[in-house]
Amino acid sequence: MARSTIMIIGLGDLGGHVLEMLVRAPGSRRIITADINEDWAYRKTNIAAFGASQLGHYPDLEFTKIDLYNIDQSA
């Protein structure tokens, strides 16, 4: 069975909580985080990875900057 990939767009209040729960859940998955605020979202992604590592989980995390108003980039 292929490994699943999840993309979370927007790491505000809800997206941040979802990310924190996913990185701590057992299982092999790739998680891509995306937000327009590059500095905030990159830090949020790293903090989630650190928290998960404290519980012995090392998820495959990746951050990418995205601007949903830029149609070419979003496609």
Q: Does residue 2 have a pLDDT over 70?
A: no
Q: Does residue 74 have a pLDDT over 80?
A: no
Cα torsion 45, 49, 23, 30: sign: positive
pLDDT digits (tens, 9 = 90+) for 15-63: 999 999 999 998 888 999 999 999 999 999 999 999 999 999 999 999 9
Looking at residue 27, what is its pLDDT?
82
- CATH number of the domain where residue 64 is located: 3.40.50.720
Q: Cα angle at 53 between 47 and 56, to 5 degrees?
A: 155
Q: Does residue 1 have a pLDDT over 60?
A: no
Number of domain units in the chain? 1
Residue-number span of the structural domain to which 56 is assigned = 4-74
